[in-house]
Structure 1
Amino acid sequence: MSDKLTHLDHQGHAHMVDVSNKEITKRTATARAVLLMQASTLTKIIEGGLPKGDVLATARIAGIQAAKKTSDLIPLCHPLMLTKVTVDINTISEREIEVLCTCSLAGKTGVEMEALTGASIAALTLYDMCKAVDKGIVIQNVALLEKKGGKSGDWSSDHV
């Protein structure tokens, strides 16, 4: 891996990276976010007992939509034609929910930012839909878990 920041030109100015000469390869990335909440809030989510309706379905849709709109939110990201986005929401303890977002495409640049954006916005949507019963929800451990494809090859986190 290079230690050079690719979004800075030779004068140190921010710019969008030119990927026109890169090879098209299959690329996939998975990111996660974890929400810590009161056990009673998680029970309400699972049982569908929150006033705003099906919070899990809404969060999944929000995560997918966010991944598709990443270049509108992150200034130097390329607009990408994603071929697949999945958002999975799993209970990992009596007080924690894990959001996993996986993005895929065949393209010239990676999908790490799309996966991170999807996981983050799905988590924020869960917070928004649950805040009436639990304002103390904490969103934590937003991280890239793995990426596959591209010039730099495959990578997976050993920290999460």
Structure 2
Amino acid sequence: MNHEILVETEVDGAEEYADLLRWVIPAALDAQGVDVPCEVDVLFTDDTGIHAINLEQRQVDRPTDVLSFPMFDLQPGENPTEEDADPGTGLVPLGDMVISLERAKAQGEEFGHGTRREVAYLAVHSVLHLLGYDHMDEGPMKRQMREREEAILSALGIGRD
């Protein structure tokens, strides 16, 4: 599938993760059975940048690791269709993700698996949000989301080092 992953960065050092995202995001979409070409916009920022976006968009006054802004109100297992595509590009504008590289580095170190794996995890996590998954409760939806994240990362050979 010819997905378009557009990566912008506000921070130094993020360029090395752009190719990783251009591989991981389409693989996650494919693993979820998305069979139409999609566009996903990614912004790498730092804790200050993501804090400002979190406050402005969600009224949450703190930084976080990743934010997801889906274009569609999908349910888990429901995928976009050709009818959702932009007529000008033929791509489904699936949504936007914002990743704090600062937070990804800290969490990768904290969890002992490094920045590369953490950035890949955050991207897969965000793709699932763009496809309607949620984890606001501690119940079955969160378990389902975690299982999908680990299955996708494992299939890509991105384990916990």
Q: What TM-score, normalized to structure 1?
A: 0.29
More strand by share: 1
More helix by share: 2
Q: What TM-score, normalized to structure 2?
A: 0.29
- Structure with the greater alpha carbon radius of gyration: 1
Higher relative CO (Cα under 8 Å, sequence separation at least 6) belongs to 1
